[in-house]
Amino acid sequence: MSDNQLAFIFPAFTSDYTNHPGHGIPGFALQFDTFLRTASNKVDPLLKEFTFTGNTFLEDELLTQYLTYIYSCASASALRNLGFSPSMNAGYSMGIYASLFDAGSVSFETGLELIRLAFQSLKMAISSASFGMVSVIGLSGRDIHHLIDQYDLRVEITNQNASPSFVLSGFLDDVMAFMKLAMEEGALHTRDLGVSIPYHASFLKEGAKHFGKLISSLEIKQPENKIISMIDQTLLLTPSIIRQELINNLYYPLNWFRTKQVMLEHQVSVFVECGPSKGLTKNSKFVEGNFRFYSLNSFPLNQI
């Protein structure tokens, strides 16, 4: 490894497993199978039926979260087995669980349990109300706030991916209304993210508090490398800070754009997206700086 400061980045979910980028990483397949078997036994036997080209459970939010976690943990483990050690890592949204596993802060099984408890707590908290999330590209934060205020929409900005790229969460009717209004306002693109939980929004505060009680007895250790918060870009240095971050991560807005900038300030120069998609890699081009950002299939194993 040269002087390049390496960071592993863990995504939230994927919407496609075909042509997954990790298949060329030596050792990935074995790690993935091992983790998949463990998860099948621990949280849901249906996971045994997963295949990359067939049964991918994309319509099931919880199973998709498990699978993205399994994939992320397997790819990071394979890279570590090849000698790559990140100086820092970050979990994008629900990618926080894989980032904690990778940093040695939680066991693989505890990560699965965190995902299960978070999902169940949030589902219970939103009860029968319909929620959703949307991404919007091409409007500024000010334009978006203006639309929300003008039409009194029950939606919140819950992440900024790039200067003109945001994610919003809220009541489904208002999310749909926002999509239409945003296009009329001049957005280049909007997309329904197809989830039923308004992640990172204040609507989830009670569910997050309940989650906090449920995880109080789970073992969380001091991380072996730096983990950065996507909420306020501080370092998650101790188990108690991590425990609070896990709770806050469910109902506080994130800022991925700012997180990347702060990681650059920490001298990170090489990023690897440890997950089944290339979404964060594509998104990385809107941050200025001297760095390289790779998806798993483009990561030059012999040149870093």
Partner 1 sequence: MATITEKTKEEVKEVVYSFFAEECEVDIEQINENTSIIKDLDGDSLMFLELIEIFKKKYNLDIELKVIGKYAVKHPVSTIGQLIEMQLLIIEHENRLLDIEP
- Tell me which residue of 220, 222, 225, 221 sits closest to 89, measured CA to CA: 225
CB-wise, 162 or 214, nearer to partner 1? Answer: 162
- Of the pair 74, 144, the CB lying nearest partner 1 is at 144
Shortest distance, position 52 Cβ to partner 1, whole Å: 18
Q: Which parts of 261-300 interact with partner 1 (CB under 8 A)?
A: 282-283, 285-286
Q: Which residues of 248-279 are buried (b: 16+ CB within 10 A; e: fewer)?
A: bbbbbbbbbbebbebbbeeebbbbbbbbbbbb
- 148-187 residues in contact with partner 1 (CB under 8 A) are 162, 164-165, 183-187
Is the CB of 58 or the CB of 162 nearer to partner 1? 162
Rounded least distance, CB 276 to partner 1, Å: 16
Report the residue count for the chain.
304
Measured over all CA atoms, what is the biggest interatomic distance in the chain, rounded to whole angstroms? 54
CB of residue 117 to partner 1, shortest distance in Å: 33
Q: State CA 63 to chain mean position distance.
A: 15
Q: What are phi and psi of 250, to 5 degrees?
A: -80, -30
CB 181, min distance to partner 1, A:
12
Say how many residues touch partner 1, by CB under 8 A. Answer: 18
Nearer to partner 1 among residue 47 and residue 187 (C-beta):
187
Each residue 114-143 as x (binds partner 1 by CB under 8 A) or -, in order, gives -----------------------xxx---x
Residue among 16 and 60 whose Cβ is closer to partner 1? 16
Nearer to partner 1, 88 or 147 (CB): 147
**Cβ 163 to partner 1 shortest distance, Å:** 9
Edge to edge, what strands does the sheet with 155-162 contain?
A: 189-192, 131-137, 165-171, 155-162, 254-255
d(CA 265, CA 274): 21
Give the number of other CB atoms < 10 A from CB of residue 167.
23
Q: Whole-number minimum distance, CB 139 to partner 1, in Å?
A: 6
Nearest distance from C-beta of residue 16 to partner 1, angstroms: 11
Using CA atoms, how far apart are residues 273 and 116, in angstroms rounded to an integer? 23
Nearer CB in complex with partner 1: 128/285: 285
Q: Tell me which residues in 177-236 interact with partner 1 (CB under 8 A).
A: 183-189
- For 46, 71, 279, the CA distances from 14, given in Å and listed in that order, are 18, 10, 9
Which of 214, 266, 220 shows the shortest CA–CA distance to 100? 220
User: Which residues make Cβ contacts (< 8 Å) with residue 170, sequence separation at least 6?
Assistant: 131, 132, 133, 153, 154, 155, 156, 178, 198, 201, 203
Q: Which residues bind partner 1 (CB under 8 A)?
A: 137-139, 143, 162, 164-165, 183-189, 282-283, 285-286
